[in-house]
Structure 1
Amino acid sequence: MSYLALARKWRPKKFNDIVGQEHVVQALTNALNSEKMHHAYLFSGTRGIGKTTIARILAKAFNCQEGMSADICEKCENCLGVDEGRFVDLIEVDAASKTKVDDTRELLDNVQFAPTTSEYKIYLIDEVHMLSKHSFNALLKTLEEPPPHVRFFLATTDPQKLPITVLSRCLQFNLKRISPKLILERIKFICNEEKIKFEDIALAKIARAADGSLRDALSLLDQSIAYSASNLTDTNITSMLGSVDKKYIHQIMISIVNNDASELIKTIDNIGQYFPNYENLLIDLAEIFQRLAILNLTQEPFENNQFEYDLSEYDNSFDSEEIQLNYQIALMGRRDLDLAPSHKVGFEMCLLRMIAFKPHSSDETDKKDQTIKSKENVFEKDPKSTVNVDSTEKNNKKTSSFKDSISIKSEKIIWSELVDELDINGATKTLADNCSFDRKEGDTFYIILDKKSSSYYSKERESNLSQALSNFFKKTIVIKINAGDVKRETPNQEKIREKNEKRDEAILGLQIDPKIKEIENAFSGASLDSDSIKLKNEKIE
């Protein structure tokens, strides 16, 4: 007897055998038992998750000789005919090979004829999104109002390509990817039934490699049986899948824990001898950090048969911040692999980032804080400290030099400094800040108010400013304020200019900062947002 592939041999034949699509099975079961069936069904989802299989089982349920029911007898001629692919009233069409409108018209010409041996004639159109626009247009009317004896089952991996007019005429079921746990349980059951020796960790690797597709898992299982002579060990499956031995992943994690870049490079060189898939390695590392994050926050370990790596050696070696950072670096590293000179170089740089961007430990921070405090204590204990003396002398010199340099007899008045020395506040201070000094004639000051700020002027504020100047110079001072274009900077304009100069200097300093450059290179497309930079003590809006 010829060998039958496991994916075909163990294809589900009734609804109870369907794995991981309970939401679809429940809806169809309830509809069948209540005999409230739609005339057109659309099954969508990725490959190998049961679209065509569910459609065939549904075809058996419609035409079972025991009557329409979710409990298929599997003994009648109609049920057996569907299983063996010889049921004449189930017309399966591969839309990928029959895309032309003439093919669709030929198909629809036979719709009017009654079924041969059963109650319903069922058209199962696989990969329906491959039909041409004209084919869809030809199908629309029949799909909306088919003859009573006709049912349409459509299957597609890309429902976005279907016209909305087709989607609106069908009852749509979105099939989901099957979890590795359910795939593992299914292939374990099959291995036991087929009397194949296996290790749990080996089957777990197959379940993960299947990427949510049970058919892919069974195809990999077939390949594994042939490769390992029906002895599915961890070593055999790792070799067949082209995976890297988990000891190398362990060595990488230890190198990251110890900040040992040289040992990390050696490990990557050793891995390179096996020509691995570096993207899969980053997926493994990302999964490790994801599980470390959950373990760090919940303290609940994972089941060993669902995860092949032992986290016990480094579950306390990373804090939450570093785990999150390394997880993000692994994800970004996957995205940037194709941009690197080679995948090995991209993988290497990604892991070096995990060491380079390692957050400072609390011990290191405490040591820095203690060093700063010790320096502050030295200055406090030593009143003759050079720093304190210099800063005090500098402030004293600034104050005394300004008071010595300015008097009522001075021809050169620095208005911004004079305003800061006056005993004024509120609206009077605002008025002074928006004025510039023009000239002085005897005891009279001529001041120009910026015309853009003319609304700040009032007789009362002018009088308050005149009184403040008189108190400062200990002599009666008269001021004349006229609104107009200022020739010199007002104190307010001077403050704005100095602030902008400091901000531009800060932005330039950050743009050339090596650490900022490293971050921009590490995260492709990232750039410094100059609008977000605020000076110290500046109000954040």
Structure 2
Amino acid sequence: MSQALYRKWRPARFDDVIGQEHVTRTLKNSVAAGRLGHAYLFCGPRGTGKTTSARLLAKAVNCLHEDVAERPCNECTICQSIRDGRFLDLIEIDAASNTGVDDIRDLRDKINFSPSEGRFKVYIIDEVHMLSTAAFNALLKTLEEPPPHVKFVLATTEEHKVPVTIKSRCQQFNFRLLNLAEISERLTWLADKEGFTIEPEALRMIARQGAGSLRDAESLLDQLVVGKDDVITAERTQMVLGTASNEAVVQLTNAWLSRDGAGGLALIHEALASGTDARQFCRQMVAYLRDLLLLQAAGDTLPLEATPEQRDEMLAQAQRAPRQGLIEAIKKFNEAALVGAGSWQPQLPLEMAFIELLPDTAVPIPTAAPAKPKVEQAAPAQPAVQQKIVVEEETAVSSTPPPEKPKAKTKAKEADEAEPTPSPASDKKAVKEAATPLTVKEVQGVWAQLVTQSGDKIKNLPALLSMGKPLATEGRTLIIGFDYPLFKDKFDNLAGAAPLVSDVLTELLGQDAAVRAVVTSEYTVPVQPADFRALADELGGTVSEDS
């Protein structure tokens, strides 16, 4: 029967444990000197070697090898029975399942029996912080003065939950997270043993995804392996792990530094469409921005897991990014990474983290303010109207022009002939008078154009408008609905946003229009009489005006 890689290749000697030399060296020397404690407390994150070290200690104290410095030897019957799980004097207790005081009382009743095979009975209590208060109290006396043939090893991932009275009776060892180099070295060794190949980029992805836990990294590697002589590529690793490419992380950082909201959101959507997990993308952004912050603080001397080209690009970004902005970006993406995955819009925390980093004000535009295009169109027509009025007054005063001034008559005649031709200002006035109420369907037909054209003046506006939708109309006013108050407030506070959208909508529809932003859940959509009549016709009924 096949075994998981982390179980199949579990370290068999203290020297095989990776990254915990400060613990294994002490334990090995204690065994060699015969100065063993009666109780040990192993603390540290998951997957760092706590249970493995506890089993190695049980092997070492019961090993039959003549040279104590070589224990455990993995050759004697005791070592082999512990390896195969047949050693009766090694008792492993899961404190998460045996939390009550009755379980500890049962342990106390059996602890006085002598070992059946080895020199010592070793009790390994995993996740000891899960014990109840009564169970801890019942364990105190036994832990303080156990029988001489008993050794306790307590393991926990949450050391702060273990009572001080328990800690004071144990020798405490703190296990640390492994770095990328240590995890990569171990994974390469496993690949050689199993007979498959890992591409360097895939190896870095797996080691980084392990986040300091060797067991997590080995489990991910086990998930990617198809069979013997397999080649684990970066593309397959990225697809299985749901990670974004390094290029996507770099480009999103550039979009933030360039204040390119549309480009950044398009990059996020493209990455998510290709299978990237939103929370994993947030974690990658946190790790990358952290490196930029450390580069900015420590300079080029800081060691990084990056190629020379990547390092040069990171240095350039670190020089562009403001210190406080980097700190704020790390906080935002870290908060987004901690949001649960149960949301019906899992990409929303990532999008909001990016949008919140963009400036609230419009990007400075070198051209004139686009707030009043209507005045510019109407201005040329004004002199023509004034000229017409002056000509008519002259004609009225000189109804019988003297013969010596034929030019005045000609001028009045030309003005009368030109009178039927309406001016541009008169056209616009007629359009305004004939304007009909705005409809949502009408706006939906030009909504995509409106979103695109608004980005010509304010770069961040298309990304913000994409978070809203045409919700309703009130006369010639379009109501834009946003699902979250954050986006509604950003639209209202973005300088020039509402006037610009109004002008673009007016240009697209050919009639005056205004806009107003609301929160969708807080707005009641008005029902027009025409909608009632259409529904009545569809159902075969009539609309009564009686109250």
TM-score of the superposition, structure 1-length normalised? 0.61
Shift of 1:171: 0.9
2:236 is the alignment partner of 1:236 = yes
Shift of 1:182: 0.9
The gaps in structure 1 that reach 5 residues or longer are 365-513, 519-541
The separation in 2 between residues aligned to 1:342 and 1:356, in whole angstroms, is: 24
Paired residues of 1:197 and 1:230 also in contact (CA < 8 A): yes
The separation in 2 between residues aligned to 1:247 and 1:237, in whole angstroms, is: 15
Percentage of matched positions with identical amino acids: 36
Equivalence map 1:100-499=2 (5 Å): 100-226=100-226, 230-274=230-274, 276-296=276-296, 298-300=299-301, 310-313=310-313, 315-317=315-317, 319=319, 322=322, 324-335=324-335, 338=339, 344-356=347-359
2:84 is the alignment partner of 1:84 = yes
In structure 2, relative to structure 1, the CA distance for the partners of 1:116 and 1:346 (3 Å cut) is closer
Shift of 1:200: 1.2
Match of 1:10 in 2: 9
In structure 2, relative to structure 1, the CA distance for the partners of 1:70 and 1:156 (3 Å cut) is farther
Shift of 1:223: 0.3
AA of the residue aligned to 2:347: K
The separation in 2 between residues aligned to 1:159 and 1:179, in whole angstroms, is: 21
Match of 1:56 in 2: 55
Shift of 1:302: 5.2
In structure 2, relative to structure 1, the CA distance for the partners of 1:258 and 1:229 (3 Å cut) is farther
Larger radius of gyration: 1
Paired residues of 1:293 and 1:320 also in contact (CA < 8 A): no
Shift of 1:116: 1.5
Q: 3-state SS of the aligned residue for 1:348?
A: helix
Paired residues of 1:32 and 1:70 also in contact (CA < 8 A): no
In structure 2, relative to structure 1, the CA distance for the partners of 1:352 and 1:163 (3 Å cut) is closer
2:47 is the alignment partner of 1:44 = no
Q: 3-state SS of the aligned residue for 1:310?
A: helix
The separation in 2 between residues aligned to 1:56 and 1:307, in whole angstroms, is: 40
The separation in 1 between residues aligned to 2:302 and 2:136, in whole angstroms, is: 52
In structure 2, relative to structure 1, the CA distance for the partners of 1:80 and 1:197 (3 Å cut) is same
> What RMSD in Å do the two structures reach over aligned CA positions?
3.4
The separation in 1 between residues aligned to 2:312 and 2:174, in whole angstroms, is: 39
Match of 1:26 in 2: 25
Stretch deviating more after TM superposition (64-73 or 86-95) = 64-73
User: How far does the alpha carbon of each residue in 1:154-177 deviate from its partner, in whole angstroms, 9 at most, with x for none?
Assistant: 112222222222211111111112
Shift of 1:190: 0.7
Stretch deviating more after TM superposition (279-288 or 146-155) = 279-288
TM-score of the superposition, structure 2-length normalised? 0.60
AA of the residue aligned to 1:348: E
In structure 2, relative to structure 1, the CA distance for the partners of 1:244 and 1:31 (3 Å cut) is same
Paired residues of 2:289 and 2:329 also in contact (CA < 8 A): no
AA of the residue aligned to 2:53: I
Q: 3-state SS of the aligned residue for 1:33?
A: helix
The gaps in structure 2 that reach 5 residues or longer are 367-489, 495-547
**Number of corresponding residues:** 366
Paired residues of 2:81 and 2:87 also in contact (CA < 8 A): yes
Paired residues of 1:292 and 1:323 also in contact (CA < 8 A): no
Paired residues of 1:63 and 1:118 also in contact (CA < 8 A): yes
Paired residues of 1:96 and 1:130 also in contact (CA < 8 A): yes
The separation in 2 between residues aligned to 1:289 and 1:256, in whole angstroms, is: 11
Match of 2:440 in 1: none
The separation in 1 between residues aligned to 2:37 and 2:118, in whole angstroms, is: 18
Shift of 1:321: 5.3
The separation in 2 between residues aligned to 1:103 and 1:317, in whole angstroms, is: 58
AA of the residue aligned to 2:14: F
